[in-house]
Amino acid sequence: MAQLPETFEKRMQRLLGADFPEFQQALQQTPPVSIRLNKQKYTSAVNLSRVPWSETGYYFSERPSFTLDPLLHAGAYYVQEASSMFLEQALKQTTDLSQSLHVLDLCGAPGGKSTHLASLISKDSLLVSNEVIKSRATILAENIAKWGSGNVLVTSNDPRDFGRLPEFFDVMVIDAPCSGEGMFRKDPQAVEEWSEDNVILCARRQQRILTDVWGALKPGGILIYSTCTWNEAENEENMAWLATQQNAESIKIDLDASWGIVRSELKGVEGYRFYPHAVQGEGFFLAVMRKRGEPEERYTSGKKKKYKLTEAGKKEKALVQDWLVTSKDFAWVQHNEMIFTLPENLFEAADEVYQKLYVIYGGTQIAEVAGKKVKPLQPLALSQHLNKNEFGTFDLNLEQAIRYLRKEDINLGTNGTDWVLLQYNGYPLGWAKQIGNRINNYYPKEWRIRMDLPAELPEKSVLE
């Protein structure tokens, strides 16, 4: 790792005191590797040690080749830094997750916290996962589709755009862009780019973000704020500023002493700090704030509402409605030739988001329908609600699966003219169209594995 900036070292010496040498030593060590299971897809036991603050988080003793594991592409798990999984405690301890909630993940890419939120909220809740940078929003949409929840909208908007949805969200998660001190061990470039000026710049930007989105949080709603940095300016000071500016209330989280998480306090605001010498994870900060006040009943005029979303026609819906196991629970929406679904109870809320924001992906994309020709779409294959009984399936071995995920030609050794759902160990990967004894590979080009294959491929999934 590059030499640490002198001003950073002095500040950390002040914060950590006698623990500073141990902190320095930890920064020279190999970062831990962790994943979070998708329990809606992967239900088997794993022989791994658990991340203590997450029910579905696990550590690896060393980093395997995740890219060459079909189960990663099937959405059976997500590779995520362990400290950031503390979001689970923040949400569970402050929110009734049995309720139908509107949740915002403002800075969602690449998808770690969004897929985590999707696993924690009820199926009757709506998650809006946002990323302002378009290229990163595309990656976010891919990871949301792979997770397969079906109750997530991916947007690409500036934080100020959320002012169009006043008091809409019950919960907001802001994993704010920061100076990245907590990533020094993993990313040497973060050390080179660090400066005191950049810390000040980040702190001011975070305040602008908080100001821009605060009006979209309901009175009584919860804000979960996090960074991957250790300086007070971007963390405790910003939360104390929010408490003063917006009359926000700090919420405490119960900690297990064995976790090694450090509780901090400034002007009555509590925060939670993760140091690599004390926890098995990277540098992280989190605080929870409540917007004071009580939510008001939303007024409805009684006038017939104009919707932006259009329900699918009866003929088109009849062609595909049996493709989900609980089709009656979903609203079937049509946009040009594409049909997608949203949970029925979330249709109005989702439509409001579509009207006010730029949505790049929503619900579950089911199929493209042109007359009687129907083409199943990739997100359907990965949906947690897919009805596999409606399709012919073929289980690939590991080498075939990797070659399919590279969008290469593979031979199934069968004949036919139908769509085939290709799987690995029973986990759907995507579609192929059988034409005689060959297949057309319909795996999305932009999702394909690009890395060069090693001389010897892995023998099994990293979870097996």
**DSSP string spanning 250-308?**
EE-----GGG-PEEEEETTEEEEEE-TTTSSS--EEEEEEEE-S-PPPPP---SPPPPS
Domain 6-291: which CATH number of 3.40.50.150, 3.40.50.1820, 3.10.20.310, 3.40.225.10: 3.40.50.150
Which residues are identified as catalytic?
228
Which amino acid appears at position 63 of this protein? R
d(CA 386, CA 322): 9
pLDDT tens, residue order, the chain (464 aa): 668 999 999 999 999 999 999 999 999 999 999 999 999 999 999 999 999 999 999 999 999 999 999 999 999 999 999 999 999 999 999 999 999 999 999 999 999 999 999 999 999 999 999 999 999 999 999 999 999 999 999 999 999 999 999 999 999 999 999 999 999 998 888 999 999 999 999 999 999 999 999 999 999 999 999 999 999 999 999 999 999 999 899 999 999 999 999 999 999 999 999 999 999 999 999 999 999 998 777 655 556 689 999 999 999 999 999 999 999 999 999 999 999 999 999 999 999 999 999 999 999 999 999 888 999 999 999 999 999 999 999 999 999 999 999 999 888 888 888 999 999 999 999 999 988 888 899 999 999 999 999 999 999 999 98
d(CA 69, CA 324): 26
* Residue carrying the six token digits 């020279």: 28
**Cross-strand pairs, 224:** 173, 288
pLDDT score recorded for residue 300: 55
pLDDT score recorded for residue 1: 63
- Given a contact cutoff of 8 angstroms between Cβ atoms, the answer to whether 285 and 272 are in contact is yes
- Given a contact cutoff of 8 angstroms between Cβ atoms, the answer to whether 155 and 213 are in contact is no
Question: In terms of Cα–Cα distance, which of 59, 158, 169, 156 is closest to 109?
Answer: 156
pLDDT score recorded for residue 365: 98
Strand arrangement, sheet containing 77-79: 49-50, 57-60, 33-37, 77-79
d(CA 422, CA 457): 20
pLDDT tens-digit profile of 99-127? 999 999 999 999 999 999 999 999 999 99
pLDDT score recorded for residue 303: 60
pLDDT tens-digit profile of 393-441? 999 999 999 999 999 988 888 888 899 999 999 999 999 998 888 889 9
DSSP string, 122-143: -TT-EEEEE-SSHHHHHHHHHH
User: What letter would DSSP give residue 436?
Assistant: B
What does the domain layout of the chain look like in residue ranges? 6-291
What is the DSSP pairing of strand 438-441 with strand 427-435? antiparallel
* Residue carrying the six token digits 């990656």: 139
Q: Is the dihedral of CA 445, 449, 454, 460 positive or negative?
A: negative
d(CA 105, CA 67): 26
